[in-house]
């Protein structure tokens, strides 16, 4: 990335940085922090995995009844953050979140291991649970319920797509004289700005 002359489209840079993180021997190079806020603007953050990326945005999957799901329903604006320490790189993304199509969620769900699909039925994500054994009992119930059959996608489990409105690339340099470039949507094009570190 030439920070003085950033390419007009941030997507190829994003892909290259992801690929370079993926080439290192790191667990979950596609892990990103997802920040949401409730209707009163109170923020919360957690890690999710990037499962799709194209010009429409970045896709992750979750339970729509979870805290993040409820916050996104009340306030669809969110931010994503990648940090690859081994590469001294960070990507910050902001935008609006929508639900992906049922077909897209079904296709991803079908690619998950059966136990993970059962887990999506067993877990009331973000709700209190008294003990691990309760969770395991719920998993057993799901196993019995779908014994010998396909495990369908729960209607409350689906993909979310964050459409890019702002993307910032940061690369660490010696003595904190880092490089930063931010892309902001301007209609169909992008406006770029270099920022002081
Ligand atoms: C490396 C890592 C990857 C994760 N990936 C996901 C994910 O893709 N989807 C998800 O719902 N939760 C994922 N989680 C769990 C979330 O961080 C979080 O605990 C959960 O979604 C509940 O968050 P909430 O109560 O704010 O909704 C992941 C956690 C870690 C540490």
pLDDT for res 144: 97
Whether 112 is covered by a domain: the verdict is yes
Which pLDDT does position 64 carry in this prediction?
Answer: 98
Residue 3 lies in a domain: no
Q: For residue 24, tell me if it sits in a domain.
A: yes
Does an H or E element contain 32, and which? Answer: strand 31-37
3-state secondary structure of 60: strand
Question: Is 126 near ligand 1, meaning CB less than 6 Å away?
Answer: yes
pLDDT of residue 159: 98
* Active site (annotated) includes residue 42: no
What is the largest distance, in Å, between two alpha-carbon atoms of the chain? 60
Write the pLDDT tens digit of every residue in 43-94. 999 999 999 999 999 999 999 999 999 999 999 999 999 999 999 999 999 9
- The whole-number pLDDT of residue 33 equals 99
**pLDDT confidence of residue 86:** 97
Task: Give the per-residue pLDDT at 20.
Answer: 98
| Nearest C-alpha neighbor of 92 from the set 5, 14, 186, 2 | 14
61: tokens are: 């999957």
Positive or negative, the Cα torsion across 104, 39, 36, 178?
positive
Q: What does each C-alpha distance from 147 to 18, 107, 119 come to in angstroms? A: 38, 21, 14
| Calpha distance 62→60 (Å, rounded) | 7
Does residue 55 lie in a domain region? yes
Q: How confident is the model at residue 174 (pLDDT cuts 50, 70, 90)?
A: very high
122 pLDDT tier (thresholds 50, 70, 90): very high
At residue 63, the pLDDT reads: 98
8: CA distance to ligand 1 center in Å?
33
Which residue range is the domain that position 75 belongs to?
Answer: 10-194
Beta strands in 157-196 (DSSP E): 157-171, 179-186, 189-194
- The mean pLDDT value of the chain amounts to 97
Atom of ligand 1 nearest to the CA of 68: 27
Ligand 1: which atom is nearest the Cα of residue 44? 26
| Mean pLDDT score, 158-177 | 97
Q: Is the CA virtual torsion 36, 93, 160, 157 positive or negative?
A: negative
pLDDT of the residue at 153: 97
If one residue of 46, 124, 161 were mutated to test the ligand 1 pocket, choosing by the most ligand atoms within 8 A of its CB, it would be 46
pLDDT of residue 31: 98
Distant-in-sequence, close-in-space partners of 18: CB < 8 Å, separation ≥ 6: 29, 30, 50, 53, 82
Number of structural domains (the chain) is 1
Contacts of 171 (CB under 8 A, 6+ apart): 1, 3, 88, 89, 178, 179, 180
Instruction: For 24, list phi and psi in degrees, rounded to 5.
Output: -80, 160
The pLDDT of residue 151 is: 97
Question: Residue 74 maps to which CATH number?
Answer: 2.30.110.10
| Segment 135-156, tens digit of pLDDT | 999 999 999 999 999 999 999 9
Instruction: Give the list of residues 6+ apart from residue 105 with CB closer than 8 angstroms, or none.
Output: 61, 153, 157, 158, 159
Q: What was the pLDDT predicted at 18?
A: 98
Q: Residue 99: its pLDDT value, please? A: 98
Q: How far is the CA of 167 from the centre of ligand 1 (A)?
A: 22
**Domain annotation covers residue 4:** no
Residue 166 falls inside a structural domain: yes
**What are the CA-CA distances from residue 91 to residues 15, 74, 131, 163 (Å)?**
11, 25, 37, 15
Whether residue 174 lies inside any domain: the answer is yes
> What is the structure's pLDDT at 65?
97
């Amino acid at each position: 990335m030439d920070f003085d002359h950033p390419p007009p489209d941030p997507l190829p840079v994003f892909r290259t940085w992801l690929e370079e993180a993926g080439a290192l021997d790191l667990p979950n190079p596609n892990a990103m922090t997802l920040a949401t806020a409730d209707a009163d603007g109170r923020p919360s953050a957690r890690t999710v995995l990037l499962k799709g990326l194209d010009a429409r945005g970045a896709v992750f999957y979750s339970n729509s009844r979870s805290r993040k799901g409820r916050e996104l329903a009340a306030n669809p604006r969110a931010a994503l953050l990648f940090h690859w320490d081994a590469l001294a790189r960070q990507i910050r993304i902001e935008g609006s979140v929508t639900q992906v199509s049922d077909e897209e969620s079904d296709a991803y769900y079908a690619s998950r291991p059966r136990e993970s699909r059962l887990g999506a039925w067993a877990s009331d994500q973000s709700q209190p649970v008294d003990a691990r054994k309760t969770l395991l009992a719920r998993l057993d119930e799901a196993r019995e319920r779908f014994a010998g059959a396909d495990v369908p996608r729960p209607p409350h489990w689906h993909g979310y797509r964050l459409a890019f409105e702002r993307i910032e690339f940061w690369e660490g340099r010696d003595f904190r004289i880092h490089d930063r470039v931010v892309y902001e949507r301007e209609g169909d094009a992008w406006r770029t700005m270099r920022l002081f570190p």
